[in-house]
């Protein structure tokens, strides 16, 4: 409630499409990423009795910063910046997951492998200027 009292209800200027997208990306990172996995896990455990799910159950879309339906403020530059931010966001989620996995897996050899993946994800998120230090294929193969 204290924060609500400090939050202005009327903003001086309308947010640009990139700022709008960044605000919504927070929900992807902090709500939908974990919740989507929990939903799939619940369905697999309780509905399918542990059987593998054959179809993709959840497909997330993201239009802010990419809606080319006449919004004159959505430019190619904005779309590319939002795409870069989304890529960084999912890599950050993977990095956090890898750190948690590293704490749980301490088998000889496995710990080194997980540590290498963690470092590549870390570099891709925090030290990258567009470079990705790990490919999807490499991540999936190593896991």
The mean pLDDT of the chain is 84
Higher-confidence position of 55 and 103:
103
Domain definitions of the chain by residue range: 2-142
Predicted confidence at residue 9, as pLDDT, reads 59
pTM score of the predicted model? 0.77
Higher-confidence position of 128 and 108:
108
- State how far Cα 25 lies from the chain centre: 8
Contact yes or no for 89/25 (Cβ under 8 A): yes
Q: Which residues contact 52 (CB under 8 A, 6 or more apart)?
A: 44
| pLDDT higher than threshold 70 for residue 3 | no
Residue 1: band (very low, low, confident or very high) from pLDDT cuts 50, 70, 90: very low
Q: Which residues contact 91 (CB under 8 A, 6 or more apart)?
A: 121, 124, 125, 132
Higher-confidence position of 68 and 17:
17
Higher-confidence position of 138 and 8:
138
Read off the pLDDT of each residue in 68-75 and give the average, rounded to a whole number: 81
- Assigned token pair, 81: 């910046």
């Amino acid at each position: 409630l204290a924060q609500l009292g400090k939050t202005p209800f009327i903003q001086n200027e309308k947010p640009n499409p990139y700022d709008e997208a960044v605000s919504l990306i927070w929900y992807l990172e902090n709500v939908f990423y974990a919740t989507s996995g929990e939903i799939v896990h619940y369905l697999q455990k309780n509905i399918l009795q542990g059987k593998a799910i054959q179809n993709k159950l959840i497909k997330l879309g993201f239009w802010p910063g990419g809606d080319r339906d006449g919004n004159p403020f959505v430019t190619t530059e904005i779309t590319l910046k939002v795409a870069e931010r989304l890529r960084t966001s999912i890599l950050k989620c993977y990095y956090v997951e890898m750190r948690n996995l590293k704490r749980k897996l301490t088998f000889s050899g496995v710990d080194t492998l997980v540590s290498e993946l963690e470092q590549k994800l870390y570099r891709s998120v925090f030290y990258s200027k567009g470079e990705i230090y790990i490919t999807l294929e490499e991540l999936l193969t190593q896991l």
